[in-house]
Amino acid sequence: MFRARTIPPNVNLNVANPAIKWDEYRLRVPLDAMPLRARHQSGRSLISMSSSGIGGANGHVVLEGPPESNTHQDKRTVEIPLLLIAGGLSPRSVASIAETLAEFATEDDTDMLSISTLYGRRSRQMTWRAFSILLPGRSDIPRFTQPTLISRTKPPLVFLFPGLGSQHIESKLQFLSMSSHCLTLICSGSSALSGLSAV
């Protein structure tokens, strides 16, 4: 819908439910293809999708359209190295996606910056990943690393920053004197990091 900017028509609707206040809530069912218009000044459209499953498994999601892109970017105009990430549920699927990314990289008319962003986001949910670096000005096929199993366990190390900046020399001491809980956390963190930090 976002790409074509068109609302597809609804099928198999013969009679609208009279119990629904169509006019009061300004609702209508598209029986023909309609243009998808944005009401916000950003130019992005909003669509909502619902799915009702057997046994009460219902879902609803609101999606915002991508930003407008008036310029078409050729892969050779990218002036920075791009990270390409192939993510999948198995090493075989990662290898297949890596092949697809490599094919994209060899085509002249491909926006590799958008491809890099899209596949990078998709890979976050995948358990196996491989990567390659696409260098600017290079036309050879990028070589990907071997697929690696990514642990779903979050690292136990947490960095805590008070976020006060450098207002004045005693500002952090005043902040810590007001919050004993925060002082305990920072002291615990400093103790845990004492053997790991070079500072």
Instruction: Please give the tally of structural domains in the chain.
Output: 2
Same domain, 19 and 59: yes
Q: Is residue 192 part of a domain?
A: no
What three-state secondary structure class fits 132?
A: strand
Q: What is the CATH number of the domain that holds 101?
A: 3.30.70.3290
Q: What is the pLDDT of residues 10-41, one digit of tens each?
A: 888 888 899 999 999 988 888 888 888 887 77
**Residues of the domain holding 87:** 75-149
Please answer whether residues 127 and 150 qualify as being in contact, where contact means their C-beta atoms are separated by less than 8 angstroms: yes
pTM above 0.95, yes or no: no
Domain boundary among 110, 126, 149: 149
Q: What is the pLDDT of residues 64-93, one digit of tens each?
A: 887 766 544 444 455 778 889 999 999 999
Q: Is residue 190 part of a domain?
A: no
Please answer whether residues 60 and 50 qualify as being in contact, where contact means their C-beta atoms are separated by less than 8 angstroms: yes
